[in-house]
Structure 1
Amino acid sequence: MDVNQIATKINQEIAALQYGQHPPELYEPIRYMMSLGGKRLRPVLTLLATSLYTDDWQRYAKPALAVEVFHNFTLMHDDIMDAAPLRRGKPTVHTQWNNNVAILSGDVMLVNAYELLLELPAQQLAQVIRRFNRCAAEVCEGQQLDMNFEKQPGVTEEDYLEMIRLKTAALLGFSLELGGLMVGADHTDTTLLYELGESIGIGFQLKDDLLDVFGEQAKVGKQVGGDIMANKKTFLLIKALQEAQEQDLEELTYWLNQPSFVPEEKVKAITAIYERLDIRQIAENKMNEYFALGMFCLDRLHANTAKKEALKQFIEQIIAREN
């Protein structure tokens, strides 16, 4: 089993997917969204998990795509809520068409995800659907909490970690769990797979928070400091508000309450506060704590050591990313 083989198979299956034809205004945005690329991280993780228990992983490629179609459905709707103009460097669906089209096409993508899961054997289907439904609800709960945080004072570290667990990590957890569920892995292993994905997912989001402030713009692929300019309640800002005293707290509060500002000045000032308070190290420690927890779950899986190593290497590559 080779990760490149899995990625190639997933891209072939995505290219072959049929969503519908009429009316074209409904289905063309789906094809457009799915053609924008991305890492295809979730279905790759699904099939890597499947390959822990069977060499015949290719037969499960189609239902594995359900997590990718669902992920893109959430992105399509998130872009509307965020009024985002670009997705992976191209116009978002609601920009290319309009909000109503993006809502409706996204709804059909959710239906498509269920259609892909129906490729599974009957003995696995009910359990998979129940777990998928719980995951889908949690993603929505996380998105709502994220929107609530925009106007909610006093967001705590625990609040934030729970929000990213739901919004981001739950789907990574389900993606790995699905790989085990599809081939009838035992409950202990499917639980460990979920916990592996959830822990890694929280770590990924903490890394995103760090890269937004301390990453190199050329590598990150987006404007560094965007979260600071938007007063986004990231782990870094929450910890800074918790740790800051006297002059640092006064300066931080000043910048958070400025209705207009020079972006570079605000980013520079708040980054300097983060550095004085050692927020970068605090965030890296928390991130590494979750990555270590994920690897602990991976080690405990009852699967072939060589196959676990392939999954471990793939996760380590993602952890080391700089974008």
Structure 2
Amino acid sequence: MINDNQLEEIKTTLEQHIQALDLKGKPSELYDPITYLMGLGGKRIRPLLTLLAYNLYKEDYQKVLSPAAGIEVFHNFTLMHDDIMDNAPLRRGKATVHEKWDDNTAILSGDVMLVKAYHLFLSIAPEHLKESLQLFSKTAAEVCEGQQLDMNYEKREFVSEAEYLNMIRLKTAVLLGFSLQLGAVLAGASKEDASHLYDFGMNIGIAFQLKDDLLDVYADKEKFGKQVGGDILANKKTYLLVKANELATGPASESLKKWLNAEAYNPEEKVKAVTALYDELKIKEKTMELMDDYFEKGFNQLSSLQVKNTNGLQLLQNLTHNLANREK
């Protein structure tokens, strides 16, 4: 079984497998954007979780590299299309596909990525193929549902806490849950363990998004690597804004509305003013409390697993803790 020193080996093996995927073809205008986006890297958290979950039960994780890579291809497909919808100029510090090529190319290339993701799942053993595809199809639809809700909420003045949490569950957390669940299914784990791993991924996925929301406002500027307060400037519906809208009354409410509706403003002044409102309403503390609750719910699921590979379990926990404690 793996130990801490082998995590980098697994990451390297996974990355080599991803880079060796057959994602090229003709016309080049259709396939070049795919290899470009996949070549930009990323943390590869989702396929890594699949491999770590599989390894809780079996040692030969190399056998499931292709379906794990399929999850990463799907994830990047969603990013390619999300960037078009968000009109985002950069992805991982480089030009987005729709900026480097055009919107139509990015749409069509993304469509092919979804097809390629399903193709990679065909490497799954016959006894697990139907269940895996059913779970993947359900998850893929939920991710799209989450993205649509996200777009819907940007047009609304008020979004409830429950609505926001459900949106990030669909848009972000279900794919993390599925990544872990797939590893368990492919390893022949019990239904109970697969369910516990799914719930673990769901809960930490929500916690990770809350962490992202927090970092955008409260991160150390030197460590964050991008503009602090970008979500505030974009009036993005984060948990912090949703909670502030819910709690603000009187002058605080009027001030928040003023900044949200302002068309001309000094960016630094707006970030400073809205952050001060968050501080006044103790939004940071409330977000951290909820985030910690979700992390605790997630880790509680791991204690219910029936696995003998305690080192592998510790590795999964360590990886999650490191992500939870990140500063960028």
The TM-score with structure 2 as length reference comes to 0.97
Moved more, 286-295 or 246-255: 246-255
The answer for the alignment partner of 2:312 in structure 1 is: 307
Cα separation, 2, equivalents of 1:307 and 1:258: 51
Find out whether 1:320 has 2:328 as its counterpart: no
Q: CA deviation at 1:283?
A: 0.2
- In the TM superposition, what are the counterparts of 1:1-323 in structure 2 within 5 Å? 1=2, 2-304=6-308, 305-323=310-328
Cα separation, 1, equivalents of 2:151 and 2:61: 38
Cα separation, 1, equivalents of 2:25 and 2:70: 20
Q: CA deviation at 1:276?
A: 1.0
- Residue 15 of structure 1 aligns to which amino acid in structure 2? Q
Q: CA deviation at 1:60?
A: 1.0
- Residue 314 of structure 2 aligns to which amino acid in structure 1? E
Could you list the structure 1 runs, at least 4 aligned residues long, displaced by more than 3 angstroms after superposition: none
Q: CA deviation at 1:217?
A: 2.5
Is contact 2:24-2:35 (8 Å) kept? no
Q: CA deviation at 1:165?
A: 0.1
Q: CA deviation at 1:78?
A: 0.3
Cα separation, 1, equivalents of 2:150 and 2:312: 37
Q: CA deviation at 1:153?
A: 2.8
Q: Per-residue CA shift, 1:183-238, capped at 9, x if unaligned?
A: 11111011111101110000000000000000122322211111111111111111
- Residue 314 of structure 1 aligns to which amino acid in structure 2? L
Q: CA deviation at 1:166?
A: 0.2
Q: CA RMSD in A?
A: 0.9
Q: SS at 2:14's partner residue?
A: helix
> Any gaps of 5 or more consecutive residues in structure 2?
none
Moved more, 59-68 or 40-49: 59-68
Cα separation, 1, equivalents of 2:221 and 2:109: 33
Is contact 1:3-1:48 (8 Å) kept? no
The TM-score with structure 1 as length reference comes to 0.98
Q: CA deviation at 1:261?
A: 1.0
The alignment covers a number of residue pairs equal to 323
Q: Per-residue CA shift, 1:58-113, capped at 9, x if unaligned?
A: 11111111110000000000000011110000000011111111111111110111
Cα separation, 2, equivalents of 1:20 and 1:277: 52
Q: Per-residue CA shift, 1:253-305, capped at 9, x if unaligned?
A: 11111112111111000000111111100000000100111100111111122
Q: Per-residue CA shift, 1:7-27, capped at 9, x if unaligned?
A: 011111011111132111111
> Any gaps of 5 or more consecutive residues in structure 1?
none
